[in-house]
Amino acid sequence: MRLLLTTSQGIEDLAKGEVENLLSGLGVPFRVEERPLGVEGRVLAEVGEAYYTDEKGKKRELSVPTYLNESSRLLHRIIMEIASERFEGIGDDDPEKALKRIEDFVSELPVERFVKVSESFAVRSFRKGEHSVTSVDIARTVGKAVFDRLSRFGTPRVNLDHPAVIFRAELIGDVFFLGIDTTGDSSLHKRPWRVYDHPAHLKASIANALIELAKPDGGSFIDPFCGSGTIPIELALRGYDGRIIGLEKYRKHLRGAEMNALAAGVSERIDFVLGDATRLSEYVESVDFAVSNLPYGLKIGRKGMIPGLYMDFFSELSKVLEKRGVFITTEKRAIERAIAENGFEIRHHRLIGHGGLTVHTYVVE
Ligand code: SAM
């Protein structure tokens, strides 16, 4: 089985590592590839059949997509691949030609192997890049091709609102993917524990990527701008043993973080503190790891305040941080200045896609 896995751009290597780790536990042969056909935010896993022994000692097949849906912290979707194809020059095609190419291609695919004709289906689509067609055009065209193909075997049923089977068609640049979306309509990064929705919350998948980069080893851990608590909550859900602190200046968000932690069942594991990160040393004498999604000044506060805020925060951080910090922001110049002027060194830098923005991520020591 070939699984097309989606995640945020820029964390494909970490997602690949997670998938390899999870699949190793199953004892099946597998191969995982980052960015198949060069597409960002995608990982491809080829996996053999997996089995488990039930309580009566009977050997049963294990659904690898279900296992990944339940266990992954970095993936957004688990899609059973039907086909992947490069359509050279599709970006230059007029709409009719582009849709005809897609329709002809999908018509030849044995989609009947992936869905029973009696099951209702819908096509969801995703498009990224320069094209003359919209994602709605793609969904309609693929839907028609799937319907026509299934009509050879019976009477297909379309249900756009509550389909039993979701086909996912993606056109990213000149690469086209078709598969069965086993995750459903809600991406995995939308965590069920999020009962308080902070206006600038971090995707849980990216929170986990930052945690991976910090490599916390059981020592104390703080998110000094914790907002709705995404990073501390995800860390606690990983079963982290050390002390976890979430600091936030605004009571409303701190209350929200506490509610989220309660919903996640980890409120006992996190110390939430109301306070100002530019006075960090007043709340903690020392801390091993600091991981945070810094205020960017885009959605909250004013942009002009950012350089001063970062400078004051990193000055305080230099008094208390023992091991490693990981920070994410759009404000490259302000953070790099604050890092350098407060005696930290950048050990790693990468760009991550987050909500339409490309954000800079730094590991500092
Ligand atoms: N990662 C968080 C989440 O997923 O909800 C969002 C963090 S948001 C980008 C930045 C947070 O920093 C905001 O909640 C804001 O209220 C808080 N903040 C701004 N200035 C602060 C300061 N001086 N000290 C502590 N928190 C501050």
Contact 226, 283 (CB under 8 A): no
Mean pLDDT of 209-221: 98
pLDDT in tens, 96-113: 999 999 999 999 999 999
Looking from the CA of residue 299, the nearest atom of ligand 1 is 9
pTM: 0.96
**In this model, does residue 301 exceed pLDDT 60?**
no
Instruction: Give the integer Cα–Cα distance in Å for 207 and 303.
Output: 23
Closest CA to 177 of 352, 7, 356, 5: 5
Centroid of ligand 1 to alpha carbon of 278 (angstroms): 12
Contact 136, 127 (CB under 8 A): no
Centroid of ligand 1 to alpha carbon of 233 (angstroms): 15
CATH number for domain 2-181, candidates 1.20.1250.20, 3.20.20.140, 3.30.30.10, 3.30.2130.30:
3.30.2130.30
CA-nearest residue for atom 10, ligand 1, is: 295
Centroid of ligand 1 to alpha carbon of 226 (angstroms): 5
CA-nearest residue for atom 20, ligand 1, is: 249
Centroid of ligand 1 to alpha carbon of 223 (angstroms): 9
Closest CA to 307 of 281, 342, 333: 333
> Taking CB atoms and a 6 Å cutoff, what residues make up the pocket around ligand 1?
198, 200-202, 225, 227-228, 230-231, 247-250, 253, 276-278, 293, 295, 300
Q: Tell which wins on pLDDT, 297 or 39.
A: 39
Of 8, 197, 211, 225, the one to substitute when testing ligand 1's pocket (max ligand atoms within 8 A of C-beta) is 225
Q: Express as a percent the part of the chain with pLDDT over 90.
A: 96
Of 226, 251, 273, 278, the one to substitute when testing ligand 1's pocket (max ligand atoms within 8 A of C-beta) is 226
**In this model, does residue 125 exceed pLDDT 80?**
yes
Looking from the CA of residue 278, the nearest atom of ligand 1 is 23
**Predicted confidence band at 241 (pLDDT cuts at 50, 70, 90)?**
very high
**Predicted confidence band at 130 (pLDDT cuts at 50, 70, 90)?**
very high
Query: Torsions phi, psi of 46, nearest 5?
Result: -105, 120
Looking from the CA of residue 276, the nearest atom of ligand 1 is 24
Q: Could you count the other beta carbons within 10 Å of the beta carbon of residue 347?
A: 13
**In this model, does residue 140 exceed pLDDT 90?**
yes
Each domain of the chain, given as residue ranges in start order, spans: 2-181, 204-364
Contact 20, 30 (CB under 8 A): yes
**Predicted confidence band at 303 (pLDDT cuts at 50, 70, 90)?**
confident
Model pLDDT, residue 195 = 98
Mean pLDDT of 210-232: 98
Looking from the CA of residue 231, the nearest atom of ligand 1 is 1
Centroid of ligand 1 to alpha carbon of 218 (angstroms): 24
Instruction: Give the integer Cα–Cα distance in Å for 165 and 122.
Output: 7
Centroid of ligand 1 to alpha carbon of 295 (angstroms): 6
Centroid of ligand 1 to alpha carbon of 248 (angstroms): 6
Looking from the CA of residue 253, the nearest atom of ligand 1 is 14
**In this model, does residue 39 exceed pLDDT 70?**
yes
**In this model, does residue 298 exceed pLDDT 70?**
no
CA-nearest residue for atom 3, ligand 1, is: 201
Superfamily of segment(s) 204-364: Vaccinia Virus protein VP39 (3.40.50.150)
CA-nearest residue for atom 12, ligand 1, is: 225
**In this model, does residue 300 exceed pLDDT 60?**
no
Query: Helix/strand/coil (H, E, C) string of the chain?
Result: CEEEEECCCCCHHHHHHHHHHHHHCCCCCEEEEECHHHCCCEEEEEECCEEEECCCCCEEEECHHHHHHHHCCCCCEEEEEEEEEECCCHHHCCHHHHHHHHHHHHHCCCHHHCCCCCCEEEEEEEEECCCCCCHHHHHHHHHHHHHHHHHCCCCCEECCCCCCEEEEEEEECCEEEEEEECCCCCCCCCCCCCCCCCCCCCCHHHHHHHHHHHCCCCCCEEECCCCCCHHHHHHHHCCCCCCEEEEECCHHHHHHHHHHHHHHCCHHHEEEEECCHHHHHHCCCCEEEEEEECCCCCCCCCHHHHHHHHHHHHHHHHHHEEEEEEEEECCHHHHHHHHHHCCCCEEEEEEEEECCEEEEEEEEC
Model pLDDT, residue 148 = 97
Model pLDDT, residue 284 = 98
What is the number of alpha carbons within 13 Å of residue 283 lying toward its C-beta? 24
CA-nearest residue for atom 21, ligand 1, is: 249
**Predicted confidence band at 90 (pLDDT cuts at 50, 70, 90)?**
very high
Centroid of ligand 1 to alpha carbon of 346 (angstroms): 22
Of 253, 272, 299, 361, the one to substitute when testing ligand 1's pocket (max ligand atoms within 8 A of C-beta) is 253
* CA-to-CA separations, 238 to 91, 208, 222, 235, 343, in angstroms, rounded: 42, 9, 15, 5, 31
